[in-house]
Structure 1
């Protein structure tokens, strides 16, 4: 162990970055392999207590060791006189796979309550402010609307607070969000000099960084934006709950993180996921054959049709449900899973259908299964209309600091929230979850409620150590664990991007895009840009679409490389008075038939747009890899913007919007069978000069087949997909056989 001189900086050069920390300023910088500055920030967090003045402390001691485990450099920094007399220790491991920050440790002889911890904090006029300095922040899930997109230039100088954690809709000082949460990471990049200089966005564009959680903290995890800088902010509110009290030895404060660096921010996020996977912090789940089949099945969800017809919530009944299902069947749409959304239940909490509104609910489920579909059910497991129905009392619900149960609600319906930290609640809720699965036998559960969990300023569980982000994880463990006792193959769908929930969540959902009218397809593309990275951990993405049919084909086309297609469209009018055509339905069925069954994959954007506020984090074309094999491709002729680096593919040449998927385990460049769906009638050239012969057969919705003329070219084979077959029926997909 070497004691460092205060004038001596700590430097470490690793595979993807160069780190430098200066003890005199307590600031660190991160440079990429080309020497460009990626970010800089103070190292010391701000620990805010409920009493006394808050203030940073000077460096007391700094040591640099080398780890025996992986050869990482380990920097330990102790700060004295923090908040007027306390000791704070920060430990950083500088490894090839990232910069690992342990949760800081706080020691004080005085008793005080930790209200919040602002990571990487600067101080202005005696007040801690965000300190991470990077020219752009990338924050998926920052807002439910694209009005606050994921790519946020620092020069906007926003003064807002957003969720990195589970989200909550009960805080007026935080931007409302649902999809993507908990995300548990933030990313960014920098630009050398002025972004308007020659080469600024090519030679001057730095590598990207991603800062992600390595463990779920017992607090509300936020991202604070101010003065063009950002910092993760963990609000514990121990002043209300007394769960983080100083004065009794070392106290862990804040959160633990890993900081990864890669050429682009999607790859930096990918490296974050892989770092957790490779170190055993998260593990992709093993899937049974039945679960794999369910994960690949297309879906139809009733919610959009409920809303369009005015039969949502307590107006939802047997007649409305039967009507929606009849519409789906009459349209020719062939989903693999029919998902019944809110509110099939009678009383929230019982997980039982309302017998008055749905007198033959179970008979309807039998009908769906008899038609060859699987059943999916929506559920918000923590909602409770009446504690007495469970033999519980109001004290078993989540309560505020005065012991009064909090209530949440939608429209005119309010309800309590189960406190899953209490054993009677755990026993009752687990029993209800088991009974729910045993009785209704859903193959898919659309899990909902994370954004309803109150922020710690408003309520906390009885076991205070379960507060904040931990409460969501404990609830998932309880409910999903109970359901899997009855059916280990049940598929759980949720909308989080966090890798720390992969033990519980099987399928990512791009819902809900209700604040994205007129741009459902653009928002879906952006959400899939980020959720596709979950494929590294065995979690595919489901793309349900928006609340009209206008651009639904493009949403389904994007989804083809990520997971199953879906729909929540209405068949008798929607907010745009649109309706599906027979060709729309055929495209849905065709893409559903071609879905790849493998849940673990890597998707690469072929025409990525990285920088724009409106176009950033999107791509018009995608390539899917399973291992090193290119197994699926979505191609469009146009880019979404003029920036970014296009990755080339050598499989197909066409001006059509098209999805091409291997029908075997072999990659597209050697497979003997592939399928394609083209949204446009342009000719398609397969770049397969190795093949001796190609047969192209168009499969129509009525079951008829049409063989298409194929001509040999210098680089492969060319044919023209058709929208309608010889029988006049719309074409669902085109089968291509090669030998």
Structure 2
């Protein structure tokens, strides 16, 4: 490469030709690239006559910057900044000279005339050029869960990386783990990730065409008026790399600062969510609260179904004739109360005091509607436009009223992602366009809630640090996305991606599925993730929970970590290969000072854990261990939760052991064999309601 930028980092060599933007990543020990492509932005534009074309950049180094020339039709500049995580494409400036910006592409280079005749998509005139053996987008496919796909598995596909989801082509996957704002490319020798450096002012997607990919910032300024003034992006994109796709995402995520104080321990309170019963039409809150108290939950969240109409912020009086009294009764029972809110939808405009000018318009000015699946034949909601001062005032006032009247401890914000994409509608103010639409809606409501009550906690879904910085608590969504048969497996898959939030000062909530018989896997992983949350039905006659199932939920509600900063110890977990999806197996939670504060042991790991942190223990069956004071599971007070029958041998001493069952503790004599503490859980013990032991 002529005028090459070379970065040797984490066992890999990254090279970029400053003239063409062509780049490659290869292991230091192997010159064959794991990824190659173009990292200068290509501009898909439309001229005043309506003709479209793609402009490719050539670069000329100019001090710390690179001057970009797009064939004389547009110019710009870009700073290539080497960082601890890899490379930042900073201070991108463009002079479009009156051209309408349809897309910016990262990963596109020009084709020859002969190659262009073979392009199968005339609306996408230049073929992507990110080349690798596989591509990784967290939970690109929800059922069965898949994050790593071979380069030919997606075909001609658009995969949303932000909040738009089905509006731009992905299968419905609810919220988690979007937004990710990035995709990784590589093979079993290493991975390169390319992602946004700021919340995109466009809809960010991965475009797979054949066996090649590109990142696409979708502006559609051929439809929508561009912003006034010069075009500048302080941190347009970031590039990181690592041995695995998970490591590349972790490095990328760590390049973002928290931006607000770390979540307090109160955000880690164990919570029961009403959705498991509300979704079946059961609104008996007093009975549910009594059951949640019996399971030692610390909070109860009223989910979708409490409002007169979705997003009104007013109670449905036939279900809750006195919602203030209902909230008081939850608190009187010893639980904090929470409320669900949709951020981007409205049903009853008159009730909200809104009109057409407060909604997302189409090109013809007519307001657009949306639903979670973006199916035009399904019932839909009006989509709120934060460009409107009345919309912003409505959102703020609605939230302030909820905080004042019901005094919730938690606000769960949802559905900032079921909104029209830029091909069909866009906010009138360009500052709210693209993935900034959902981001702005979340921030308006979170800011209003905290202004009214600085102690209220905000819960979101999604794993990108720029999104998580809005929240105190990030939850895995319910496991229904994975299908009734695969909730447990889906939770093991999602736990890998959720664990990357541990370094970002936000509490991670393990959530649950809808089926009690798969909940053991969820409890195991929640012990490491930290905060227990459940949407399990309490009164479904088809699946009454057993004593064993209730015991393990009671145990994790009582014993869980309340800290907000930690790192995963993966042990024998699978972090993804081209032919194997990421999933946790046995793994742990490492907190400040290298303390192993929680541990998940699965039966399939017995005899094969060789990490020094756990090599001296032995086990059969499934077990969760949670430090009760932060000294570590082998040193200080520790809770041990058996999930299945088996034997656990721990290299530690104890002064006392308590055996817990049915919410009560009984002192028992410790059993030592060859200097190791031995705990045994039988099928009969578990069926009788054994919750676990506390080691002191």
Distance in 1 of aligned mates of 2:610 and 2:138: 21
Name 1:93's counterpart in structure 2.
Answer: 81
* Residue 678, structure 1, aligned to residue 603, structure 2: no
Distance in 2 of aligned mates of 1:651 and 1:370: 47
Residue 658 of structure 1 and its aligned partner are, at CA, apart by 0.6
- Conserved? CA contact 1:119–1:254, under 8 Å: no
* Residue 139, structure 1, aligned to residue 137, structure 2: yes
- Conserved? CA contact 2:278–2:305, under 8 Å: no
Q: 2:628 aligns with which of 663, 670, 686?
A: 663
- Conserved? CA contact 1:216–1:470, under 8 Å: yes
Distance in 2 of aligned mates of 1:168 and 1:629: 38
CA 1:529/1:157 → structure 2, altered by over 3 Å: closer, same or farther?
closer
Name 1:567's counterpart in structure 2.
Answer: 534
Q: 2:23 aligns with which of 17, 22, 28?
A: 28
Residue 699 of structure 1 and its aligned partner are, at CA, apart by 1.1
Distance in 1 of aligned mates of 2:198 and 2:610: 34
Name 1:79's counterpart in structure 2.
Answer: 69
The number of residue pairs the alignment matches comes to 673
Name 2:384's counterpart in structure 1.
Answer: 418
Name 1:635's counterpart in structure 2.
Answer: 601
Name 2:204's counterpart in structure 1.
Answer: 221
TM alignment of 1:524-543, pairs within 5 A? 524-543=491-510
Q: 1:730 aligns with which of 680, 689, 693?
A: 689
Distance in 2 of aligned mates of 1:103 and 1:709: 63
- Conserved? CA contact 2:42–2:56, under 8 Å: no
Aligned to 1:670, what secondary structure does the other structure show? coil
- Conserved? CA contact 1:608–1:646, under 8 Å: no
TM alignment of 1:64-75, pairs within 5 A? 65=63, 74=64
CA 1:508/1:13 → structure 2, altered by over 3 Å: closer, same or farther?
same
Residue 123 of structure 1 and its aligned partner are, at CA, apart by 3.6
Name 2:242's counterpart in structure 1.
Answer: 262
Name 1:195's counterpart in structure 2.
Answer: none
- Conserved? CA contact 2:25–2:192, under 8 Å: no
- Conserved? CA contact 2:478–2:535, under 8 Å: no
Name 1:122's counterpart in structure 2.
Answer: 109
- Conserved? CA contact 1:545–1:566, under 8 Å: yes
- Conserved? CA contact 1:541–1:563, under 8 Å: yes
Distance in 1 of aligned mates of 2:210 and 2:612: 36
Distance in 1 of aligned mates of 2:59 and 2:503: 42
Residue 646 of structure 1 and its aligned partner are, at CA, apart by 7.0
The alignment's TM-score, normalised by the length of structure 2, stands at: 0.90
Distance in 2 of aligned mates of 1:613 and 1:32: 17
Residue 724 of structure 1 and its aligned partner are, at CA, apart by 6.4
Aligned to 2:223, what secondary structure does the other structure show? helix
Residue 620 of structure 1 and its aligned partner are, at CA, apart by 0.8
* Residue 557, structure 1, aligned to residue 537, structure 2: no
Q: CA RMSD in A?
A: 2.9
Residue 647 of structure 1 and its aligned partner are, at CA, apart by 7.8
- Conserved? CA contact 1:349–1:381, under 8 Å: yes
C-alpha distance after superposition, 1:434-476 (max 9, x if no partner): 1111111111222111222211112112212211111222212
CA 1:617/1:221 → structure 2, altered by over 3 Å: closer, same or farther?
same
Residue 359 of structure 1 and its aligned partner are, at CA, apart by 1.1
Q: 2:488 aligns with which of 515, 521, 528?
A: 521
CA 1:549/1:58 → structure 2, altered by over 3 Å: closer, same or farther?
closer
Name 2:119's counterpart in structure 1.
Answer: none
* Residue 600, structure 1, aligned to residue 559, structure 2: no
Distance in 1 of aligned mates of 2:203 and 2:194: 17
Distance in 2 of aligned mates of 1:209 and 1:619: 22
The alignment's TM-score, normalised by the length of structure 1, stands at: 0.85
Moved more, 453-462 or 407-416: 407-416
* Residue 45, structure 1, aligned to residue 41, structure 2: yes
Distance in 1 of aligned mates of 2:517 and 2:439: 37
CA 1:647/1:555 → structure 2, altered by over 3 Å: closer, same or farther?
farther
Moved more, 87-96 or 581-590: 87-96
Residue 484 of structure 1 and its aligned partner are, at CA, apart by 0.5
Distance in 1 of aligned mates of 2:227 and 2:581: 40
Moved more, 118-127 or 495-504: 118-127
* Residue 448, structure 1, aligned to residue 401, structure 2: no
C-alpha distance after superposition, 1:14-55 (max 9, x if no partner): 465422223676411122343453321113332111234524
- Conserved? CA contact 2:344–2:438, under 8 Å: no
- Conserved? CA contact 1:106–1:253, under 8 Å: no
TM alignment of 1:385-424, pairs within 5 A? 385-409=347-371, 414-424=380-390
- Conserved? CA contact 2:276–2:538, under 8 Å: no
TM alignment of 1:699-714, pairs within 5 A? 699-714=660-675
Residue 561 of structure 1 and its aligned partner are, at CA, apart by 0.9
- Conserved? CA contact 1:700–1:724, under 8 Å: no
Aligned to 1:452, what secondary structure does the other structure show? coil
Distance in 1 of aligned mates of 2:21 and 2:685: 70
Distance in 1 of aligned mates of 2:203 and 2:83: 28
Name 1:193's counterpart in structure 2.
Answer: none
| Gaps in structure 1 of 5+ consecutive residues | 1-5, 66-73, 191-204
Q: 2:589 aligns with which of 618, 621, 624?
A: 624
CA 1:666/1:33 → structure 2, altered by over 3 Å: closer, same or farther?
farther
Name 2:308's counterpart in structure 1.
Answer: 346
- Conserved? CA contact 1:499–1:537, under 8 Å: yes
- Conserved? CA contact 1:150–1:613, under 8 Å: no
Distance in 2 of aligned mates of 1:421 and 1:233: 24
Q: 1:285 aligns with which of 255, 261, 277?
A: 261
Distance in 2 of aligned mates of 1:647 and 1:224: 43
- Conserved? CA contact 1:545–1:555, under 8 Å: yes
Distance in 1 of aligned mates of 2:451 and 2:140: 35
CA 1:24/1:522 → structure 2, altered by over 3 Å: closer, same or farther?
same
TM alignment of 1:456-471, pairs within 5 A? 456-471=422-437
CA 1:639/1:38 → structure 2, altered by over 3 Å: closer, same or farther?
farther
Name 2:297's counterpart in structure 1.
Answer: 335
- Conserved? CA contact 1:283–1:502, under 8 Å: no
C-alpha distance after superposition, 1:187-246 (max 9, x if no partner): 2332xxxxxxxxxxxxxx42333323221121111111122222111111111111158x
